[in-house]
Structure 1
């Protein structure tokens, strides 16, 4: 194997149609058990303003890819090109799976955090944060602390904070996975309403094929580890979308079924690899398989 070079930072892309370009990106981690390849020569384009969904089996590198897009990880090889951020906006904001708001801050202070760190004038902060607290149904809870809120409401704060900060790219790592079905459906609807206003470029990871079809413009189905693109699926439904009405349509069930057919083999391969890993031990009982 030849020498490997890591892209130290994402380069800027001037193409007005493509917001994020991933070029032959691989990511390998050195562990006590050996080298683990999370991503393997992944290439994709995400157009500006697209709601891009990623589905794949556990451990296929979805979150690793998102962290590379966020600048939190460097690829081992390959590069990521991100369109030049609009002046005065941050390049990206990330919403995580679990609670990621500050427990010592009120709803208002959490939602306004990014704007305050950027030195936005107080009048503009009041206008923008007030707008997104209203959109997420949090106006009456502006002075509440996270421990006084339900899990669904805390995720609403995360959404309000991300949109208020007005990033060029919004990165979302399974933000609704811990919620019950009712709260998940409500937050999907709220997210779609807010996105319809802004049409930001969104990269959203989910394990739910239903969620991917409900929210997305295009879906990348990933292979089992090492992760790569198995298929890209265009979602044909018009916008704006009503979450419940959409799921009543016969063609909705058809596209969900088709994606599951493509995903099923990868999930089975992932499960088989995980089941086999504990059996791979050396002479002294030390595991040689991946974690």
Structure 2
């Protein structure tokens, strides 16, 4: 089988193109009540090549979202560095698609999708062409004048995706964007995301708890350890593009890769559960103190 698993220390040498994202010695510490310091992320290195779709999986509480927020510039590293290589030519460095609704409720679908372009002062003709293209790509053309409260959760996420791609960022960051959706809508949006990504070939960093979703979408998967989060392993996904979501899952090799990832995750999920139980235990004892 052509997928490979490598220790985190060796994974940074596997890129076949120049990195778009270069991370060195990244750590993040948080102060918590009682004067304690929690290490959410421990030192690791990572290169993400230009145009790669990288997905991150790991147990709850391992620092996946903290890592993505640092990439987005919403959090600062405690140690280490994050470098985005190359210029943006006036385009935004990144755009982020969140798990929940992140579109403006007072704006129409069209205005939400056009927001980033409008703020940047892009000519109206270009805005019209670009927004029209991505509304069509996400199946929202007929809903251009609708407002978020008139849309289903899946359709609101389509608006978020259309807005992110329309703004033409260097890097697209996605934090469990489909986790709240039912399985049918999730599959449809995965297919649409794959289709749009095939067209743009943007550098994507995607977080999910779904191993199936990770294998379906990714070029490479980073498995993170339990807290403190570290890059435990990298798994290459060998399937050619473009991909058909349903046909892909019928391939025998698909199941082998899913099993490989779960094998990497199992120990870390068990560690995360033990950590959670240890944090709860002192609180339980405190209930019986006099």
| Same-fold call, TM cutoff 0.5 | yes
Equivalent in 47, 50, 63 of residue 49 of structure 2: 47
Q: Which residue number in structure 2 is paired with residue 136 of structure 1?
A: 138
Deviation at 1:276, TM superposition (A): 1.4
Q: Spell out, residue by residue over 1:199-254, the C-alpha distance to the aligned partner (whole angstroms, 9 max, x if none).
A: 00000000000000000000000000000011000000000000000000000001
Q: 2:172 aligns with which of 170, 173, 177?
A: 170
Deviations 1:12-69 (A, max 9, x none): xxxx710001101110000104111100002111000000000000000000000000
Instruction: Report Cα offsets for 1:246-268 as digits up to 9, x if no partner.
Output: 00000000100110011011001
Shift of 1:278: 2.0
Q: Of 220, 242, 247, which aligns to 1:240? A: 242
**What are the within-5 Å matches in structure 2 for residues 1-291 of structure 1?**
17-33=18-34, 34-280=36-282, 285=286
Per-residue CA deviation, residues 151-175 of structure 1 (Å, 9 max, x unaligned), is 0000000000000000000000000
Q: Comparing 83-92 with 253-262, which one deviates more in the overlay?
A: 83-92
Alpha-carbon offset, residue 79 of structure 1:
0.5
In the alignment, the residues of structure 1 paired with residue 151 and residue 81 of structure 2 have an alpha-carbon distance, to the nearest angstrom, of: 40
Tell me how far apart the structure 1 counterparts of residues 162 and 87 of structure 2 sit (CA, whole Å).
Answer: 20
User: Unpaired segments of 5 or more residues in structure 1?
Assistant: 1-15, 287-291
1:84 is paired with a residue of what secondary structure? coil
> TM-score scaled to structure 2, two decimals?
0.91
Q: List 4+ stretches of structure 1 deviating above 4 A.
A: none
- Please provide the CA RMSD for this pair: 1.6
